[in-house]
Amino acid sequence: MTEVIPEVSKLSGDQKGYLKEIINLVEKEKDPEKLQFLLYNKAKEKGIKTKEAFAAIYTAFLGKDHGPKAAWFLLSYPKESVVKRLMEAAK
């Protein structure tokens, strides 16, 4: 995770909405396999392509459109930091 939030203005409204939607998943889920499944399903539920959904996560944390497995990556940092970053990026 970068120290400063990367440029997220290029995220679409759907991507920002997805980031808002996954906050509660990240807060509650501790198992990376389950979280990965939930992240994937949330994208499907919101009607956003999974590639775009996961690109939103990577953009918010790395400033790139790709990265390591999202759930494992998100769970490797303190929940408070992850939630704060997701809220900032979803604005």
Structure token digits, residue 88: 């900032």
* Within-domain flag for 16: no
- The percent helix, strand, coil of the chain (3-state, each to 5) is 65, 0, 35
**Residue where the block lists tokens 């690109």:** 55
What is this structure's pTM?
0.91
pLDDT tens digits for the chain (91 residues)? Answer: 766 676 788 899 999 999 999 999 999 999 999 999 999 999 999 999 999 999 999 999 999 999 999 999 999 999 999 999 999 999 9
* Within-domain flag for 15: no
Q: Which domain holds residue 35?
A: 29-89
> How many Å apart are CA 31 and CA 9, to the nearest integer?
31
3-state class of 47 per DSSP?
coil
* Within-domain flag for 1: no
* Total domain count, the chain: 1
